[in-house]
Amino acid sequence: MWITGASTGIGREIALQLTALGVAVAASARSVEKLNKLEPGVRTYPLDVTDQSAVSATVEQIERDLGPIDLAIMGAGTYTPVAADRFDPTIFKHTMAANYFGVVNCLAAILPRMLKRKGGHIAWIGSVAGYRGLPKAAAYGPSKAALINLAECLKPELDLNGVTVSVINPGFVETPLTAQNDFPMPFLMTAPLAARLTIQGLVRKRFEIAYPLRFVAILKFARVLPYALYFWLLRRTILNA
């Protein structure tokens, strides 16, 4: 299996837990130094997912080293909070390039191979932040909403061709990505637990793997609320206005 975003946080934990289960793991991220701190059993393939030709060469190399990739998890991602009065398009471009086009680049490299083999499982990490617009998430939220929509678009056709697709939507998980948050994070969970729930969902070949359940239920309910009520709730809860 191949996983991106494996140097820290959720991706790292998934890589370690799968290795402990005896799975041959190919781990990618940009930081060679952090990848080298993974278990000795993990094969590392340093990579910037925004570089399409590097992604393609990496997939080629992994399949040469380890054989056909049966499971690909795209976990590489970035988050920068955006305030409406400090609107910087470079943040938006950088976020979309890593979170959304990073997955698109990986798909371009791996999908033709899985389609040819008529088998394989491909999964990427979205977020519950992709369900509906949230304050400070103007750059991050759209990238994650796009990833959820991308999975919905591809699933019917991939199903017919024997390829499984999953979208993983975590709530708040304790990782370097959320360490910068200066607000209380409801239902915050640990990265090892997030990894365990992700692996369980992948084993069951679930289309959506979302956790923690209570937070997901609240946000899914918020998703169907009329706009007036949704924005009123955001003002009262998150913005305290």
Ligand X SMILES: NC(=O)c1ccc[n+]([C@@H]2O[C@H](COP(=O)([O-])OP(=O)(O)OC[C@H]3O[C@@H](n4cnc5c(N)ncnc54)[C@H](OP(=O)(O)O)[C@@H]3O)[C@@H](O)[C@H]2O)c1
- The Cα–Cα gap between 139 and 222 comes to 20
**Measured on CA atoms in the order 223, 228, 229, 230, is the torsion positive or negative?**
positive
Convert residues 99-118 into a mask of x (bound to ligand X by CB under 6 A) and - (unbound): ---x----------------
* Catalytic pick among 45, 140, 227, 230: 140
Q: Counting beta carbons within 10 angstroms of the beta carbon of residue 29, is it exposed (0 to 12), middle (13 to 18) or buried (19 or more)?
A: buried
**73 interacts with ligand X by CB under 6 A:** no
**149 interacts with ligand X by CB under 6 A:** no
Residue 80 sits at the vertex; the CA angle it makes with 111 and 149, to the nearest 5 degrees, is: 35
214: helix, coil or strand? Answer: helix
- DSSP letter for 23, please: -
Number of Cα atoms under 13 Å in the Cβ half of residue 162 = 10
- The Cα–Cα gap between 92 and 141 comes to 10
Q: Which residues pair with 209 in a beta bridge?
A: 168
**125 interacts with ligand X by CB under 6 A:** yes
Number of residues in contact with ligand X, rule: CB under 6 A? 32
**30 interacts with ligand X by CB under 6 A:** yes
Stretch that binds ligand X, among 47-55, 195-203, 213-221, 228-236 (CB under 6 A): 47-55
DSSP labels for 112-165?
HHHHHHT-EEEEEE--GGGTS--TT-TTHHHHHHHHHHHHHHHHHHHHHTTEEE
**Of the candidates 23, 24, 43, 48, which one interacts with ligand X according to CB under 6 A?**
48
**208 interacts with ligand X by CB under 6 A:** no
Q: What's the min distance (Å) between Cβ of 198 and ligand X?
A: 10
**31 interacts with ligand X by CB under 6 A:** yes
- The Cα–Cα gap between 173 and 194 comes to 7
**49 interacts with ligand X by CB under 6 A:** yes
Compare residues 24 and 193 and give the one whose CB is closer to ligand X. Answer: 193
Q: What's the min distance (Å) between Cβ of 241 and ligand X?
A: 25
**Of the candidates 61, 78, 80, 161, which one interacts with ligand X according to CB under 6 A?**
78
Known catalytic residue at 131? no
Compare residues 114 and 168 and give the one whose CB is closer to ligand X. Answer: 168
Q: What's the min distance (Å) between Cβ of 210 and ligand X?
A: 10
Q: Which residues would be at the binding site for ligand X (CB under 6 A)?
A: 4-11, 29-31, 34, 47-50, 75-79, 98, 102, 125, 127, 170, 172-173, 175-178
Active-site annotation, residues:
140
